[in-house]
Amino acid sequence: MEEYLARIGPADETAMAAATQRQRLLTKPAGSLGVLEELSVRVAGMTGAPAVPAPAVVTVFAADHGVHAQGVSPWPQEVTAAMLANFAAGGAAVNAFATNNQVDVRVVDVGVATDVDDLDIVHAKVRAGTRDLSVGAALTADEVLAAVAVGFELADQLVADGYRCLLTGDMGIANTTASAALIATFTGTTAGQVTGRGTGIDDATLAHKTAVVEAALALHEVPATEPLSALAAYGGLEHAALTGYILGAAANKVPVILDGVIAGAAALVAQALHPSTIDYCVAGHRSAEPGHAVALKTLGLQPLVDLDLRLGEGTGAVLAYPILTCAMRALTEMATFESAGITAGEDA
């Protein structure tokens, strides 16, 4: 872990200053591209030079959760494995979005409860699902480190393979319960403020789910200053792998587009491990899950898309990718007033 963290540094201030200056020279009124201008400056700082970050890949980390036994989701746990088969066959929403936006898809079994060895995916199972976070620690310290290493090493490999933008994805029935506990831990909020309906549970199940999260927070009482202990207490294995993946993007100086509430929870862990990690994060969208808005506020990230999505899989991140590439094309390909032979007005 120390070796991973030692590779991470802050964004390149010189590159950001140069990008900011170029924005002032482009053939448009200053500030007229709004958030896209700030985004282009941030991405230039991540990579050290203004360039379109392509190609891109979305990595769907999948795992199961012992807390499912508490009835926090109406969906059977077997759905996680079934969806992995769907991803592998190209039949999920993230596959359709990725095809449209020229993003490659990788699927990783980091902790699915059932055997999916027959699927053509990345097999990196640390254990077959977490333990029940409401009665004890979800993971051991060694299991946390192993799952973080899966994410970090995969980020390294993807960058070595030529990818210049990493997108987060996830799959795991009951993973919004673990996310709520993690987000509450790192934001100082209550279970009621960050626990949502997940796959669409009714009011009674939401009340029960909130109570489970509240009881787990009281059981473990992990401070925000102990991020690895928080991962051990609440899981899941996909959260830990995503943490490593986000850290890996930062270590390789490539942007990582975060998806929804699961990625938001993992980003909070990554930020606690190394504050500069957030310099490399882009919020793809704002999930309908209440905990996600809380996480984004703490992370200081503005989402690029807000469409009431709560599917996961990486769909929001993939939708946001062309917005990021448009921002960078504007920075790198637009003419300046001088090159276009245009004399700007005083207020331009």
| Positions marked catalytic | 313
Tell me the torsion sign for CA atoms 109, 112, 115, 116: negative
Asked whether the beta carbons of 316 and 285 are under 8 A apart, the reply is yes
The Cβ-side half-sphere exposure at 146, using a 13 Å CA radius, reads 13
At residue 170's C-alpha, the angle toward residues 111 and 3, to 5°, is: 70
Are the C-beta atoms of residues 40 and 23 closer than 8 Å to each other? yes
End-to-end CA distance of the chain: 49
Residues whose CB is less than 8 angstroms from the CB of residue 194 and which lie 6 or more positions away in sequence, other chains included = 180, 183, 184, 187, 213, 290, 291, 294
Q: Both tokens of residue 99?
A: 């095809």
- CA quadruple 68, 72, 74, 75: dihedral sign: negative
| Strands across the sheet containing 103-111 | 122-123, 103-111, 56-63, 165-171, 256-258, 281-283
Looking at the DSSP bridge assignments, the partners of residue 257 are 167, 282
Paired tokens of 100? 């449209």
Q: Which residues pair with 171 in a beta bridge?
A: 62
How many Cα atoms sit within 13 Å of 45 on the Cβ side? 22
- Decide if 122 contacts 109 (C-beta within 8 A): yes
